[in-house]
Structure 1
Amino acid sequence: MIEPSVHLFLADPDTAPFLADELRRAAPNAVQHEVEGLGIATDVPLEGLRLAFARQTLPAAAEIQAASINAWADRIIDATTGVFPDDQPWRLHLWPQYGEGKAGLHRCELIHASLVERMKKRRRRLLRSLVDSDTVFDAQTSLVQCILTSPETGWISTSQAPQAYALRSLISSFPRGEVPLADDKSAPSRAFTKLVESEQRLGRQIEHGQTCVDLGASPGSWSYVPIQRGASVIAIDRSELREDLMRNPRLHFEVADAFKYKPPQTVDWLMCDVIAAPQRSIDLLLEWLREKRMRNFIVTIKFKGQDEYPLLDILKREAPPLCADFHLTRLCANKNEVCAFGVV
């Protein structure tokens, strides 16, 4: 068993080594333990921590055993006792991390049903304050996360408000930190899914009447999203966008260098999915932030291999002081890339 003083950081199997490297750079003296199939457990301090390769974070996670459905329900209720008041809004993220069929999901459904029945009998106020939502956290909501690694073993973590909100760059409001990919066959390419996922994780989206700059816009997947919503887009590229977008009156296309373009005035959104060396994209974002050229931003940092991942530490250090809200995450829709998004 691992002591509950550690935090559990979940990662996709192919990125767990990169998460371990991130943690070592952030806290060289912290003790790490690889949790097979999940990620990394470590005693690293959470304050000020930024992790691009952590899919989800479970603060002060405890490794537990529960022999039955009812025992699991009791353990979840116990995780709330004395931690936050019964009338405080809270969320429950409960999911299986074992097997390949529906057995794990079914077991979680049974645990949830047992939990509801138990709260009806002895914790009605706790049941009434349970929030069923995947919107971004607010400062009043607590969070209980429970992972089943087998029918009888797993992890539990409780984040008392406002911890989930304060650590929203680490703790996803989506269970397991996974966001279903958007689907729109009319978009010029699947690249638009990165933009939509970033909006969902940020908890705000491009709206009608707003102004956007899309750097490296061709063939137009990122411009497509705001255009569909009634926003205006200044698209910057050497190549034109898809023909229907080029005809749209809300799109203004300029043949220009994405790294030299400056908007005539502050825009609502900077969007950038340009193919470039990671250092160039990092420098571009920092320049826009320092000059306050935008109110919100979504920027992809693309990599050719793995050696340049430590360059992300520049953004972790320099971008947050320039932002009201800053996120740096390898999205579910990302390949060998990471998205930086936030509010200035």
Structure 2
Amino acid sequence: MHLFLPAADMAPFLVEELARSGVLTPSVLPAADYAPLVQADSLPEHSLLAFAWQTLPNAISVTGASINGWADQIIGRIAGVVSDAGPWRLHLWPVYGEGRAGWHRCELIRAALMERLKKKRRALLKGFEEGSTAWTSQTSLVQAMLTGPDAGFLSVAVAPQPFDRRALISTFPGGVIAHAEDKAAPSRAFAKVIEAELRLGRHIQKGQTCVDLGASPGSWSYVAIQRGAYVTAIDRSPLREDLMRNPRLTFQQADAFKFRPPQPVDWLICDIIAAPQRSIDLLLEWLREGQMSQFIVTIKFKGTEEYALLDQLKEQAAPLCSDFRLMRLCANKNEVTAFGVV
């Protein structure tokens, strides 16, 4: 059984997306006391799901486990399967209850696991690593998700699966990233850029060139300028006054859908308000023309009827990229963000 953690309120749409991807009989697990989960008997061949925050491949159900029982279950699953040479990571988190009780229990399970590894599996302990950096082809991932104090699911993704399925298997526990905070930004939209960068494992760098389409009031340009990049901002309306004065920003009052840079840029960033098909077409045109090296583009929806349009990006954009992601970010509303490396 493979488990998928849907983006917030997206469980039924994730089931539909899996079905369109050729996965047979996906369904929402009945769950009265914890967040909804989607199960399926196979993974999508194209390794892209817009409405899943995390994937637990080959998950098994764990019931009646105490703190020590959880630690023993984890060791039993990884011993002889995960390479002693590592590296391997552990994601351990609760999806039940409120407050800190679930997280406290996870901390106790982690401590019990580490103590057992020190006593009985020191070679395996050497390969253990912390952090949420991008997967390498040698990284394995162990996921223990608690649906209650003594129950949950356990998944082991042996290298190179996390790397090969990096658009499905997040480096963040549960695939959740807290919203970035910056009161100086023109709007909260800047958090989408930060989250996409974290998930991709790449950041806008000092000295790089960016085109920001539909830039006003300037939150995405703000992030790039803070990083030391040079931004060409395209919109019908100007950006916030301090951004307009910044020497690293060039503003052009123009149609964002018709603009093309005189030469390819390091980043295309676009949070323009438009019909989803227009934003999809724009991204595909830039990709086919080789206008950028990396990109973050938001696809906005008014309802739910047009979600299937995202399949075009899976089929047509992904082959043009070395790393292509498509996800309803934690910072997204009724929108999905496409981001990647050309």
Tell me the residue number matched to 1:3: none
In structure 2, what is the equivalent of residue 191 of structure 1?
189
Q: Deviations over 1:108-127 (max 9, x none)?
A: 11101100110111001111
Residues 85, 127 of structure 2: 8 Å contact kept: yes
CA–CA distance in 2 between the matches of 1:13 and 1:232? 35
One-letter amino acid of the counterpart of residue 26, structure 1: S
Give the distance between the partners of 2:333 and 2:121, measured in 1 at CA: 44
Normalised by the length of structure 1, the TM-score is: 0.96
Q: Which of 304, 307, 320 is the equivalent residue of 1:306?
A: 304
CA distance in 1: counterparts of 2:85 and 2:332, whole angstroms: 39
Tell me by how many angstroms 1:31 deviates.
Answer: 4.7
- CA RMSD of superposed structures (Å): 1.1
Q: Where does residue 107 of structure 2 map in the other structure?
A: 109
5+ residue gaps, structure 2: none
Aligned to 1:188, what secondary structure does the other structure show?
A: coil
Distance 2:247 2:99 in 1: 49
Distance 1:205 1:57, change over 3 A: same
C-alpha deviations, 1:264-322, integer Å up to 9, x for none? 00100000000000000000000000011000000000000000000001111111110
Q: In the TM superposition, what whole-angstrom CA distance separates every residue of 1:225-265 from its partner, at most 9, and x where no partner exists?
A: 11111110000000000000001111000011100001000
Which one of the candidate residues 2, 7, 11 is aligned to 2:6?
11
Amino acid at match of 1:17: P
**Other-structure match for 2:19:** 24
User: In 1, are the aligned partners of 2:86 and 2:126 still within 8 Å (CA)?
Assistant: no
Aligned counterpart, 1:233: 231
Check conservation: 1:144, 1:159, Cα contact below 8 A.
Answer: yes
Matched residue, 1:164: 162
Partners of 1:65 and 1:86 in 2: CA distance = 27
The residue type equivalent to 1:20 in the other structure is V
Equivalent position to 2:284, from 275, 286, 290:
286
How many percent of aligned residue pairs carry the same amino acid? 63
Query: Are 2:92 and 1:97 aligned?
Result: no
- Output one character per residue of 1:146-197: Cα deviation in whole Å (capped at 9) or x when no partner: 0011111100000001100110000000000011211111110000000110
**TM-score normalised over the length of structure 2:** 0.97
Stretches of structure 1 lacking an aligned partner (at least 5 in a row): 1-5
**Partners of 1:12 and 1:39 within 8 A in 2:** no
For 1:34, the aligned partner's letter is L
Matches within 5 A, 1:208-287: 208-287=206-285
The AA in structure 1 aligned to 2:3 is L
For residues 188-233 of structure 1, give each alpha carbon's deviation from its aligned partner in whole angstroms, at most 9, with x where no partner exists: 0000000110000000100100000000000000000111111100
Q: How far is 1:48 from its partner?
A: 1.5
Structure 2: which amino acid aligns with 1:168? R
The Cα shift of 1:81 comes to 1.6
Question: Residues 3-54 of structure 1, C-alpha deviation per residue, up to 9 Å, x if partnerless?
Answer: xxx1100014511111011011112634535353232110133432311000
Deviation of 1:98 after TM superposition, in Å, equals 1.0
Distance 1:239 1:117 in 2: 59
